[in-house]
Structure 1
Amino acid sequence: MAAWLSHLVTPHSHDSADKTDTALESSSRGLRVLGLSFAALTVTALAQAVIVAFSGSVALLGDTLHNFADALTAVPLGIAFWLGRRVATRRYTYGYGKAEDLAGLVIVVIIAVSAIAAGYEAVQRLLAPQDVRALGWVAAAGLIGFLGNEWVARYRIRVGREIGSAALVADGLHARTDGFTSLAVLLGAGGSALGFPLADPLVGLVITLAIVMVLRGAAREIYHRLMDAVDPALLDQAERVLAGTPGVRGVGAVRMRWIGHALRAEVDIKVDHHLSLVEAHAVAVEAEHRLIHQVARLRAATVHADPHGPGDADHHAALASHREPTTA
């Protein structure tokens, strides 16, 4: 009886075996995607590297360096997916999902290094121009880079959206951008074939700029995750779900955060103060149940029920000086 009463008065969490199985399957699919895309990009970059060696194309070199960097981004992200499968502990009470954000920081550094390397080589070639050889092979290498990146992009984006991994989707969009920079190598080869030797290093600079733009977007996404930012539309949806739950008289604070590729929520609702403890508990459970099933990627919710009434009674007066302001 004591254990039953303790469960009634504590916040409620909707963690279940089904949700655990879903999380494990999501991580497994993410690992498969990363393994296959790592192999595809590595083969693509190695093929390009061979052509760089005998062609001397700095534009192709920049694209090759970036493709190697793209392949390497799968390593920290794969480690993060593997860590995210571990169960929560008494020290890491929310589990290890935040490892994805740390992997994101590593990815940002890798992209930055590839941008610096590509830009340096392009500037050096502008200062000391060299003829580009085997232009047909250079053009072919650019096409290989585009096809490899586009396949990886489609695969990462599709699975990333299915499992709710923003990091995997962002990495897929990154690969798509790289595919178009590979096509830019064709422009460099075409310019050189038409007797404009500076076309190759100039395209190399354009590729460097494209890498920097990708770096900016990736850094912004990781910053949002580290700061626990979520799309305000998710809060609007959660508030509508809560307001439509039978027995809910009002909706208070609603907070969400990403932990890996899953959302967690903490919400306050108001229920009729005449309800019994069991009845108020039932309303909270129903609110939690609806949230988990109607808000995409939400895997756990903690619902706090406050009595609505009587009158203007403040049931948290003792905590007034300790509470943080609610969201604007």
Structure 2
Amino acid sequence: MPDSDPTPQHHHHGHPNEHGHEHGHGHGHGPGERRGVKALAAKVAHAFTPHSHDSAAKTDSALESSSRGMRVLAVSFAILMLTAAVQAVIVVASGSVALLGDTLHNLADALTAVPLAIAFSLGRRAATRRFTYGYGRAEDLAGIVIVVLIAASAALAGYEAVRRLLEPQDVRALGWVAAAALAGFLGNEWVARYRITVGRQIGSAALVADGLHARTDGFTSLAVLLGAGGAALGFPIADPVVGLLITVAICFVLRDAAREIYHRLMDAVDPALVDEAERILATVPGVERVGSVRLRWIGHALHAEVEILVDHAMSVVDAHAVAVEAEHRLIHDLPRLRAATVHTDPYGPDGADHHATLATHRIT
């Protein structure tokens, strides 16, 4: 499998992940295609002229994704802060440590909107000569902050639960505690669905992780009902025990969120996406073989670097046309792919090593 080649073409375009944009380059869509002298001249000009598919449509698509993310964060922040405020008042009146843990968890979940909002704002900035891929990675950094906040809420909830086990205290206003627990569940479940749905639509791992966090918060809110029920039946120890169970639940959320962010930081992608990209490339006319396929997430956009092998006797113009068609199909058929770099290598003749110059530089 070839690694890279100093002479073949590297073909890179940035695209919106839309199906309705126009290609105003006049290039062909397959090798050997002849449309007269005028068409050939256009193809030659296209092959040797710097060009990009970066367009207003692509920018609008990226901005729309970030705008949707910002709307989700604003609405969910307001709902969770209101829920936490109501619960905090009842915590003071009741002394329920289980409800305190749930309140702290809801507060932490609301505050995760802050780093995410900053990340989405940064992601709107254009790429620079220093940050050549843009600022999409800010979302992954926000994910780290989210993981730290979840860990902090787990530690505080666990501390309060253990302290209450060692220093038992009666729980008051059990009816209000139960009502606050139900309100916490409803608020968190609504926020979870909203975040997860939009996060998956725009490809934001941090927003999906935050939605899963909110969903678990909802179930921990229901657990508070168990503590209130136990206390009502004459078992005051049920409240701190439920507080400990909530802490354990938060730790499971912490594990899942940390794994999600770790995968994103390590450029992990779903292997099914790689399989799909290889399938798409193999169907392009003129592609003799598919080489390496590399995918990575940058924020909530997917980027690709692929290698294809074409007939060694093919002209530069025709090889370029194959690369254009390969990139075009990837952009249109691979979900959330916004940019692709297509590298063409010569296929054949038998025994030829087109990368001999780079043999000592390859990383095994």
TM class, shorter-length = over 0.9
How many aligned residue pairs are there?
322
Distance 2:299 2:182 in 1: 34
Structure 2 unaligned blocks of 5 or more: 1-42
Alignment match, 1:126: 165
Greater fraction of residues in helix: 1
Alignment match, 2:121: 82
SS, match of residue 266 in structure 1: strand
Matched, 1:69 2:112: no
How far is the alpha carbon of 1:9 from its aligned partner? 6.5
Alignment match, 2:27: none
Pair 1:215–1:261, CA change in 2 (3 A): same
- Larger Cα-atom Rg: 2
Does the CA contact (< 8 Å) of 2:205 and 2:264 recur in 1? no
Alignment match, 2:83: 44
Alignment match, 1:191: 230
Alignment match, 1:277: 316
1:263 to 289, 302, 305: 302
Structure 1 unaligned blocks of 5 or more: none
CA RMSD of aligned residues (A): 1.6
Distance 2:46 2:163 in 1: 68
Runs of 4+ with deviation above 2 angstroms: 4-17
1:173 to 202, 208, 212: 212
User: Which TM-score applies when normalising by structure 2?
Assistant: 0.86
Alignment match, 1:313: 352
Does the CA contact (< 8 Å) of 1:84 and 1:96 recur in 2? yes
Does the CA contact (< 8 Å) of 1:188 and 1:200 recur in 2? yes
Does the CA contact (< 8 Å) of 1:83 and 1:99 recur in 2? yes
AA aligned to 1:221 is: E
Distance 1:75 1:58 in 2: 26
Matched, 1:144 2:219: no
Alignment match, 1:113: 152
Matched, 1:241 2:277: no
Distance 2:48 2:362 in 1: 20
1:59 to 98, 106, 116: 98
Distance 1:173 1:236 in 2: 27
SS, match of residue 320 in structure 1: helix
User: Which TM-score applies when normalising by structure 1?
Assistant: 0.95
Does the CA contact (< 8 Å) of 1:11 and 1:304 recur in 2? no
Pair 1:10–1:220, CA change in 2 (3 A): farther
Does the CA contact (< 8 Å) of 2:205 and 2:261 recur in 1? no
Instruction: Please list the CA deviations of residues 216-258 of structure 1 after superposition, one character each: whole Å capped at 9, or x if unmatched.
Output: 1111111111111111111111000001111100011111111
AA aligned to 2:206 is: A
AA aligned to 1:178 is: D
Distance 1:169 1:27 in 2: 14
